[in-house]
Amino acid sequence: MPTIFTRIISGEIPCHRIHADEHVFAFLDIAPLSRGHALVVPREEWAMLHELSDESAAALGRALPRVARAVMAATGATSYNILQNNGALAHQAVPHVHFHIIPRFPDGSGLGIRWDARALDASEGAALAARISAEMARG
Ligand code: AMP
């Protein structure tokens, strides 16, 4: 089953397109949190960021700042959030990797953030960092 974003990329479902290249497609979110809220999507159809090929990930990394610059210039926004949800627990509704570019305006429109920060325990932090860096070394 193609995702709704694959169907948008193929032209089967209409969108307000703002960018397309070999690996990446971008369009306006249909239910924006603020004016200019855009989605940047790899053509490659994977649900989560860590599943992407290096080629697709690199193309996204190249396109994101360019689309962000264009959104800022077109809307006059001077602040914005990049949001990228992975998994239902993380608020992902569409199982096709996508980055939200969400301009933030003085009227308060944009991404609302709840940031329940806790203190990092020093010994747990050391153990976790060691485990994660070992995983990194495995590739
Ligand atoms: P997420 O919760 O990160 O999966 O966000 C999915 C986003 O896709 C939401 O902000 C939706 O408004 C947006 N969306 C869903 N369907 C469409 C569509 N047909 N065109 C544009 N944006 C869409």
- DSSP string for 21-74: -SSEEEEE-SS-SSTT-EEEEESS--SSGGGS-HHHHHHHHHHHHHHHHHHHHH
pLDDT in single tens digits along all 139 residues of the chain: 899 999 999 999 999 999 999 999 999 999 999 999 999 999 999 999 999 999 999 999 999 999 999 999 999 999 999 999 999 999 999 999 999 999 999 999 999 999 999 999 999 999 999 999 999 999 8
Return the best residue to mutate from 30, 45, 85 for the ligand 1 pocket (most ligand atoms within 8 A of CB).
Answer: 30
What CATH topology corresponds to 4-113?
Answer: HIT family, subunit A (3.30.428)
Instruction: Give residue-wise pLDDT tens across range 1-39.
Output: 899 999 999 999 999 999 999 999 999 999 999 999 999
Pocket lining for ligand 1, CB < 6 angstroms: 4, 8, 13, 15, 29-31, 39, 85, 91-94
Return the best residue to mutate from 4, 48, 96 for the ligand 1 pocket (most ligand atoms within 8 A of CB).
Answer: 4
Domain spans of the chain, in order of start: 4-113
